[in-house]
Amino acid sequence: MSTTIARDAVTTFSLSAIEQLSGLNKLIDPDVLQAINRPKRVIVVDIPLRLDSGKFVTFQGYRVQHNDARGPFKGGLRYHPDVDMDEARTLAHLMTLKTAVVNIPFGGGKGGIACDPKQLSQRELERLTRNFTNLLGENIGPRIDIPAPDVNTNSQVMAWIVDEYSKTHGQSWGVVTGKPLEIGGSLGRDEATGRGVMYAVREAVREKNLDLSKCRVIFQGFGNVASYGARLIEQELGAKVIGLSTSQGAIYSPRGFDLLSAEAHYRQTRGLKGFADVAWMTNEELLEQECDILIPAALGNAITVNNAKNVKAQIVVEGANDCTDAAADEILAKRGVFVVPDILANAGGVIVSYFEWVQNLNNHYWSVDEVRTELERIMVAAYSQVSAVAKERQLTMREASYIVAIERVAKAMILRGY
């Protein structure tokens, strides 16, 4: 395809090519399309922190609010030394497209603090989070912007935000999602992204007319997405996981291995090295092994021009954000590898975050079966819509995903009079 859509730098993708492919240029003012590329608001704050030692330090925090034409801004907060404005802008843009492609009433936001949480005590981390919450002030809220956990943040961090925000706004469970169950969290949230990936795998296998019971699956990663996703793919789909990895390295066996034993080994040793009767290799080598389905579910930029030509999977389902660079995406498309893109494949997390928000607003909470049923309904509907557009317009699933999302955002902006 002539269209290049770079998720690792979303703001650089070719709008003119998208307009030509989708016919948007005949329906929508080009200025609106350009506006989708720009964030509505960028917030940068200096966050003071008194360390336990008594030393006073300052950290930089960010919140990018990209687009709220379809609903409140929605997106994670990450605590990491590499957090910066460019990353936040790109990921906020991705969130706008992700919420639109699965058709939930949110926009996109992203942010975090440039810090190394491993170097902070629990008390320091709490004070930092509360100070950040106060500095964000009226820029977050259940009807404005709803953060969620991301890299190095968790339900405890969300609980601190709820408490600090509620001091000035009254009890406000819906200010964040990904909270503990005891203060308004949702059942099914921990498994949501992995379960969504499982549904994406199931639909892709059906579309390609493969036999699930004979499919061999490699997960790059063994964090939240891969640990839940691998178990669900084996237990509910009947496929076989033959590869897993951590940041230290990967295990692979073409015959497969006992997943529960691998999980137990990981819990005991905090790694996979030394697990019996498998090959030990690098993360990069794992991506090039024989399999039917490859699921990069760890880091961004995993599939590049250097390894795309060696990917042997028939189907790639992107469990992580930005895991295939634009040039590699073109190589996979030319080789006939069927790719389910990140903004569709890993949207299960934000979908169940939406369910949590709805439950908070209504003060009525769902069973885990209700959560799973609704998640499946939304994921299947989104997949079907994207697949139909891809077939009708002769596009890849990635191109079709972006077109579905952009059309929805642009139409909402026009209807609201942006």
Question: In total, how many domains does the chain have?
Answer: 2
| CB count in 10 Å sphere of residue 228 | 21
Q: Are residues 226 and 106 in the same domain?
A: no
Q: Are residues 81 and 198 in the same domain?
A: no
- Domain annotation covers residue 383: no
Collect all residues with Cβ–Cβ distance below 8 Å to 327 and sequence separation of at least 6: 304, 305, 308
pLDDT of residue 34: 82
- How far is it, in rounded angstroms, from Cα 382 to Cα 393? 17
Residue 90, Cα to own-chain centre: how many angstroms? 13
Q: Are residues 236 and 147 in the same domain?
A: no
- How far is it, in rounded angstroms, from Cα 148 to Cα 171? 17
pLDDT of residue 8: 39
Q: Are residues 165 and 298 in the same domain?
A: no
Pairing of strands 41-50, 56-67: antiparallel
* Under 8 Å between Cβ of 64 and 109: yes
Q: Are residues 224 and 331 in the same domain?
A: yes
Query: What residue numbers bound the domain in which 214 lies?
Result: 192-345
Q: Are residues 202 and 300 in the same domain?
A: yes
pLDDT of residue 33: 79
Q: Which helix (H) or strand (E) holds 279?
A: strand 279-281
Residue 74 bears catalytic tag: no
Q: Are residues 55 and 132 in the same domain?
A: yes
Which residue matches tokens 């905090």? 270
pLDDT of residue 23: 58
pLDDT of residue 12: 38
The one catalytic residue among 110, 118, 273, 334: 110
CATH classification at residue 240: 3.40.50.720
- How far is it, in rounded angstroms, from Cα 319 to Cα 296? 6
- How far is it, in rounded angstroms, from Cα 370 to Cα 292? 31
- Domain annotation covers residue 364: no
- Of 303, 323, 345, the residue at which a domain comes to its end is 345
- Of 297, 314, 345, the residue at which a domain comes to its end is 345
- Of 330, 345, 360, the residue at which a domain comes to its end is 345
Q: Are residues 196 and 166 in the same domain?
A: no
Which residue matches tokens 């350009």? 34
Residue type, 361: L
- Domain annotation covers residue 154: yes
pLDDT of residue 15: 45
Per-residue pLDDT of the chain (418 residues; tens, 9 = 90+): 333 333 434 433 444 445 555 555 565 677 887 888 899 999 999 999 999 999 999 999 999 999 999 999 999 999 999 999 988 998 899 999 999 999 999 999 999 999 999 999 999 999 999 999 999 999 999 999 999 999 899 999 999 999 999 999 999 999 999 999 999 999 999 999 999 999 999 999 999 999 999 999 999 999 889 999 999 999 999 999 999 999 899 999 999 999 999 999 999 998 999 999 999 999 999 999 999 999 999 877 899 999 999 999 999 999 998 888 888 999 999 999 999 999 999 999 999 999 999 999 999 999 999 999 999 999 999 999 999 999 999 999 999 999 899 999 999 998 998 7
